[in-house]
Amino acid sequence: MLATDIAAAVNAKELDPQEVLQRSLERIERFNGEINAFLRLNPRAAEEAARLKERLAAGEELPLAGVPVAVKDNISTAGLQTTCASRILREFVPPYDATVVQKLRRAGAVIIGKTNLDEFAMGSSTEHSAFGPTRNPWDYERAPGGSSGGSAAAVSAGMVPLALGSDTGGSVRQPAAFTGTLGLKPTYGRVSRYGLVAFASSLDQIGTFALSTADLALFTSQIVGHDDRDATSIKEDAPVFRPDPRRGRRMTVGVIKETLQEGNTPGVLRAVEAFREKLRQEGVSFVEVSLPSLQYALAAYYLVATAEASSNLARYDGAHYGSRVTAEDVVSLMKRTREKGFGAEVKRRILMGTFSLSSGYYDAYYGRALRVRRIIADEFASAFQKADLLLSPTTPTPAFALGEKLDDPMEMYLSDVDTVAVNLAGLPALSLPAGFEEGLPLGVQLIAPALAEERLFDVSALFELASEGAFLQNAPLE
């Protein structure tokens, strides 16, 4: 069942939230052994579901009443391990809930468990996890994307209708494209990062997965809004998103020409063109736009992201919390703890970031990347003077095979070529299913100006209506 249907039935007392939870748990038991989407389940989930009856009887309004939600394991959950899929945090149990988790509980959602990810959200395949890779529900030999691959796979496989992820350079949108789900990266600062374990603080944003536009809008509405505990949180009242296809028909969409050049598979190009044609028949206008500096986005992103990762991960030193390797002195303790605790990809990014921040190299690398970041943001702003939304592929290919890119970091990083610029500019973007290639789902990406998520939902709802919900009917598993 979709989240909107579950919440409506539970609120009307036509469906028992414990029954909803049990269905989800049965689905997880059936498929998670192969897929490895969940790292652990919430032992208090049944208790939380049972309490909902009392809350409903007391007259509480619960927009997500009884809806099981999965949480990426870099988002803090009180009393439930938050490991970031790393050995260095394998025993860490936070004393508090992230703001988004608090909001979901208040809305009546049931936190069912924590999902797998690339260690510290650094990766594009969910293979860089201390707890083994996640497999794509559409093909168990394929990657589900990353770093939020566990959350994407959990929704795609029907284990849960909704899941939280985080998106630093495409870590919600790329897995959404690979798994045939909807994935939203909101405007930077619109969703509180309090309780999200930091990777790159100026890029990180908590995002959402769902299987329908209505579900995604309802879900996102529950987690947006200002939070005093997050210094980057935008001061605004929390909006309620109500997708309207009629508004979508009045939109002008700019097609980013630089994203449709060589490097895309034929299926990806066909999916973008089919998406355009479907919406054109519904009245949407299209224009071509150019963002010439996009060619530098990937390089700028990996300089900014690794520099911030180097700083943020300095706290894992074996002295304060997390795992510790004993040694004869403090310096050796820190070295050995970090050597044993971090995986290869995390070490690679820390080294890259530390180098780019080092004396004599700061201006040549990090400083230059920040200037490119500003140029890219300005080019997006110019493009939005011609169009309400921008369109590109989400990824240049469908899901690749597990192990295919592990020995070639540059090839892995290129998986994010269409998504990283959005994070550099702090914009909202949505990946939605738009076709298949060799039986594997493909996604297209819609990008909106800051704080214009409603436009994304309107056009997504229009495409869903025009497609007669086709992408909802292609479940990978029975």
Mean pLDDT of 46-68: 96
Higher pLDDT, 475 or 19: 19
In this predicted structure, what is the pLDDT of residue 319?
77
Q: Which pLDDT score is estimated for 185?
A: 98
Fold of 3-251+390-472: Amidase signature (AS) enzymes (3.90.1300)
Residue 473 has pLDDT above 70, yes or no: no
- Beta-carbon neighbour count of residue 320 at 10 Å? 8
- On the question of pLDDT at 305 being above 70, the answer is yes
User: Quick check: 324 pLDDT over 80?
Assistant: no
Contact residues for 364 (Cβ-Cβ < 8 A; gap 6+): none
> What positions carry a catalytic annotation?
72, 147, 171
pTM, 2 dp: 0.97
For the cut 90, the answer to whether the pLDDT of residue 330 exceeds it is no
Nearest to 458 by CA among 248, 283, 278: 248
pLDDT at 320: 74
Is 470's pLDDT higher than 90? no
Rounded Cα distance between 461 and 30, Å, is 32
pLDDT in tens, 104-149: 999 999 999 999 999 999 999 999 999 999 999 999 999 999 999 9
Share of the chain above pLDDT 70, in %: 99
> DSSP secondary-structure letter at 443?
E
**Over the stretch 403-442, which tens digit does the pLDDT of each residue have?**
999 999 999 999 999 999 999 999 999 999 999 999 999 9
User: What pLDDT is attached to residue 472?
Assistant: 65
Q: Is the pLDDT of residue 246 over 90?
A: yes
DSSP readout, 248-288? HTT-EEEEEGGGGSTTS-HHHHHHHHHHHHHHHHTT-EEEE
Supply the pLDDT for residue 335.
Answer: 84
Give the pLDDT mean for 193-201.
98
pLDDT > 90? residue 188:
yes
pLDDT tens digits for range 345-369: 999 999 999 999 988 888 889 999 9
